[in-house]
Structure 1
Amino acid sequence: MTADDKHLVVVNDEEQYSVWAADRPLPAGWRAEGTEGSRDECLDHIERIWTDMRPLSLRRRMAEQDL
């Protein structure tokens, strides 16, 4: 795998995931999650771990309503 093919899984404060080219600076508000590999490997990882697509703030609000 060349450096151009290397990607990172990134996550924001709302626990939303994305794939980012490893050779580019991370955009504001996003941090590396720790997984890196090809784009397809990163997308496969995201598909396995991101099972609830709702933003964190919405999940918290809904949990408060359930109390």
Structure 2
Amino acid sequence: MQDDIRFQVLVNDEEQYSLWPLANDVPAGWRPTGTTGGKQECMDHVDQVWTDMRPRSLRERMSSDS
């Protein structure tokens, strides 16, 4: 991969995050979060916001079991 590729941060309905090249169409099931930039910049953002790696459905199920 080239270092000059711009990325965007995507999220799905399970609140899982992914980096995606800004020039590519967003794949089905994903939506942009509004964060764009270089790869490291986007990775740093994901590290800040994605603090619980469990899918949303699992988090909800586990909290209802309590």
Q: Identity of counterpart residues, as a percentage?
A: 54
Structure 2 unpaired stretches of 5+: none
3-state SS in 1 of match to 2:25: coil
RMSD across aligned C-alpha pairs, in angstroms?
Answer: 0.9
| Consecutive aligned runs of 4 or more in structure 1 exceeding 2 Å deviation | none
Using structure 2 for the length normalisation, give the TM-score: 0.91
3-state SS in 1 of match to 2:28: coil
Give the aligned partner of residue 62 of structure 1: 62
3-state SS in 2 of match to 1:5: coil
Give the aligned partner of residue 47 of structure 1: 47
Using structure 1 for the length normalisation, give the TM-score: 0.90
Deviation for aligned residue 1:15: 0.1
Aligned partners of 1:46, 1:28: CA distance in 2, in Å?
Answer: 20
Higher helix share: 1
